[in-house]
Every structure is written in C-alpha cells, then in structure tokens.
Chain A
Amino acid sequence: MKNRYMNPYIAGTMLGFVLLLAMFLSGRGLGASGGIKYCAVSIVGAIDRQHAEESIYYSKYFEGGKKPLKNWLTIEIFGVLAGGFLSGAISKRLKFRIEKSPGISNTRRMIFAFLGGVFFVYGAQLARGCTSGAALSGMAVLSVAGFVTMIAIFGSAYIFAWFFRKNWI
C-alpha cells in the first residue's frame, strides 16, 4: 500500500527529462498557472467580449483576432490532464473522491481548496510563474527570478503551515 508510487528519484529524473525536452524542442520551460489564466481569459471573452477588448489586461490576448486557447501553455495543460489520467489508469488510481484529513469536514476541505486556488493563481500571475513555471523551469535555466520565487513560496508555506495545521494533521 505504501510504496505504490514510483520512487521519487526516478520520477524526478523522468520529470527532468521532460523539462529538458521542452527546453530543447521549444526553447522554454514548463508551465501550469499560465494555462489556467488563458482558460479564465477565454471564459471572460466568451461571456463579455466587449469588456475583454476594452480592458488593458484582457485586450492583449484578443488583439489581432488571437484565440487565447490556441497557445503553447493552454495545450500543454490539456496534455497534463491527459498524462495524469493515463498514469492514474495504469496505476489504478482513478476514483472520484475528496481527499482530506479525517478530522475535518468535506465542506471545510472544499472551502480551503477553493481559497487555495484563488490565492495560488493570483500570486502566480503576480510572480509570473508557479512552482513549475518559475521555480522548476527557472532553476533549470539558472534564473534569479526562479530561485527567489521558489524560496518565497516554500518559505511562506512553512510559515503558514502552523496556522493551517488542523486541516492536515
């Protein structure tokens, strides 16, 4: 039961090769929060096109008739979904469930998951990258931004960990 996941060092090597392949083929690193951003932008564009074209933030994604979904990052996150599903299917981990500590209610888990998403992607847009886009890919190209962002994420998570400990342990 305990060791059904791949050895972390082997999984890390595999991930490293995927990142290296991305650098070699496309000249860039991986990314995830950017893809979520493009999804949000295209939803806003679909609902209220006029607002999107007037705003200083959204307009750059629609100028020249560009479609925000037709973008390296967006297609890449579709790939992430497919890859995760494939791995789950192979390892027999596909199941609809809510994963949480037994000490808290489902509702509480959902609330914090939602808030976590809001905070994380907001911060990722500000820092121009998430753990995969800035921290991981940034470290692989030795960028200062990557290192600083990584230290900020992990440092702050450790500090906040004490306050949210009831949710996990």
Chain B
Amino acid sequence: MIMREKFSAGLLCMGLIVALLPISAGRSLSVRPQKLMVELLDEKTYFSVDQVAKFLVTEDSTVQFFDLRSPGEFSAINIPGSINIPYNELLNNDPGRFLSDENIKKIFYSNGDFDSNYAFAIASGLNYKNIFVMKGGLNEWFKTIMNSNFSGDRISARENALFETRFRARKMFSEINSLPDSLKVKYIEAKHIAAKKLDGGCE
C-alpha cells in the first residue's frame, strides 16, 4: 500500500508546517496614527462609569466588559460579567474569539486610563469594531459609584435616577465580588458563553 505511506508522510509534513504557524496572522496591526489619535481623543470612544453602571444594572446583553488587568487583580475584584484579557497577552492569544462580534459593544477597563487606552489602540488598529473604554477605569468607578453620597437638601428626578443606578450597581458589584471563588467563576463562565449565533450544524 504505497498510497498509505505517501499519504501519511504528506500529512505529517503539512501538520508540522501548520504546527509551527503563528495563530492570528490574518489580521496585522495597521498603524494609522491619524485615525487612532482621532478616536482616542473622541469622547464617543469613552463611556462614563455612570453609563457602565446603567449597562450593568439593566443587564444589557449587547455589551461585554473586558478587564485588561492581571488575572490576580481580576479574581480579586472585577465588574460582574467581564472577561479577563491580561493586557500583555492581548496580542499573544487570538483575541478574535472575543472581539470579532461586531454587534456587541466591547468596553475595556483597567485600574486607571493607561492600559485600557493602549489596548483600545491595539484592538482598533487590528480593525476590530465597536470597542470602547470606560473613562477613569476602576479608580473612577470606586470614586463615583461605590463611594458616592448625596449631599444637599433637594434632589431632582434626574439626579435621583442617577443615584438609584449607582446604588444598584454598587450592590450588584459588592454581592458578586464577595461570592466565594467557585461561584464567581460559574457566574463569569455563564456570561462568557454568550456565543455568537452562527448558522450550522446537523441539527
């Protein structure tokens, strides 16, 4: 059976080639400094922590949060439902898995502003669409949402709604972040699985 031997040899060679290929060579970072600068300075790229709180409280399914910090920081505390992509691994693992669904708004956050902005520049440079940044990061979140207090005599309806959202977001944040690790992982996994609905299969 010469065919078998030729075939196996051919497959093994091809396999070796494929094994040594880098993963996501399909997209390359295209440097468009002018465009990137415009986007980074554009206020539409940023969501304020109040807007993020609103997304969280209404469990908006068109939004996905991404935590750019290290896994340790992520497991200590994070915005419920967010996916952890450590900043320095953004280019190593194929981020296309999470970032290519154009119908989902993807919001990056880190502790402050720097990492999330750099990650935004990279992701945007790789031509992923619909990427945003939470302005101020978790520092701003704690300042505004977690520690916010109303002071004064009267409250307008708009401010009332604002503080209500902040209060609910605060509650949700504390509750889920104080879960034991195993339950937290389950909750995170459940959101993680929101798969894009592709057509296919034998069903």
Please determine whether A31 and B201 come into contact, CB atoms closer than 8 angstroms.
Answer: yes
**Contact code string B81-98 (vs A, CB < 8 Å = 1, else 0):** 000000000000000000
**A10 within 8 Å of B (CB atoms):** yes
* Contact bitstring A1-44, B, C-beta under 8 A = 1, else 0: 00000010110000000000000001111111110010000000
Interface of B is mostly: loop
Q: A7-B3, A10-B3 are in contact. Are A28 and B200 (CB under 8 A)?
A: yes
- Of the candidates A7, A9, A30, A128, the one whose C-beta lies within 8 Å of that of B203 is A128
- Contacting residues, chain A, for B203 (C-beta < 8 A): 34, 37, 125, 128-129, 133
CB <8 Å contact, B202 and A134: yes
How many Å lie between the Cα of A72 and that of B107 in the bound state?
A: 36
Q: How many residues of B contact A (CB 8 A)?
A: 9
Chain A nearest Cβ from B193, distance in angstroms = 13
Determine the chain B residues whose CB is within 8 A of the CB of A29 once the complex forms.
200-202
A148 → B minimal CB distance (Å) = 14
Question: Do residues B202 and A124 form an inter-chain contact, with CB atoms below 8 A?
Answer: yes
- CA separation between A34 and B3, bound complex, in Å? 34
Considering the chains assembled together, what is the distance between the CA atoms of A130 and B201 in angstroms?
9
Q: Which residues of A are found within 8 Å of B3, using beta-carbon distances?
A: 7, 9-10
Q: Does B153 contact A (CB under 8 A)?
A: no
Least Cβ–Cβ distance between B96 and chain A, in angstroms: 14
B202 interface neighbour in A7, A9, A33, Cβ under 8 Å: A33
Question: What is the distance, in angstroms, from B150's C-beta to the closest C-beta of chain A?
Answer: 49
Question: In the assembled complex, which residues on chain B have CB atoms less than 8 Å from the CB atom of A28?
Answer: 198-201
Which residues of the other chain, B, contact A134 by a CB distance below 8 angstroms?
A: 201-202
Q: CB distance B199 to A128 under 8 Å?
A: no
In the complex the two chains form, is B7's CB within 8 Å of A9's CB? yes
Interface of A is mostly: helix
Q: Is B4 an interface residue (CB 8 A)?
A: yes
Tell me whether A27 and B200 are in contact in the complex, defined as CB-CB below 8 angstroms, given that A7-B3, A9-B4, A10-B3 are known contacts.
Answer: yes
Contact B201 A72 (CB under 8 A): no
Assuming the contacts A9-B7, A10-B3, asked whether A34 and B198 have C-beta atoms less than 8 A apart, the reply is: no
Interface residues of A in 77-128 (CB under 8 A from B): 124-125, 128
The reply to whether B202 and A34 form a contact with Cβ atoms under 8 Å apart is yes
Asked whether any CB of chain B lies closer than 8 Å to the CB of A132, the reply is yes
For the complex, is A73 an interface residue (Cβ under 8 Å from B)? Answer: yes
Q: Is the CB of B198 within 8 A of A130?
A: no
- Expressed in whole angstroms, the Cα–Cα distance for A28 and B7 within the complex equals 26
The interface residues of chain A lying within 8 Å CB-to-CB of B198 are: 27-28
A–B pairs, 18, beta carbons within 8 Å: A7-B3, A9-B3, A9-B7, A28-B198, A29-B200, A30-B202, A31-B202, A32-B202, A34-B201, A34-B203, A72-B199, A73-B202, A125-B203, A128-B203, A129-B201, A134-B201, A134-B202, A137-B202
Q: Which 4 A-B pairs have the closest CB atoms?
A: A133-B202, A28-B200, A31-B202, A129-B202
**Could you list 14 further interchain pairs (A-B, Cβ under 8 angstroms) beyond the known A29-B200, A34-B202?**
A7-B3, A10-B3, A27-B198, A27-B199, A28-B201, A31-B201, A33-B202, A72-B199, A124-B202, A128-B201, A130-B202, A132-B202, A134-B202, A137-B202
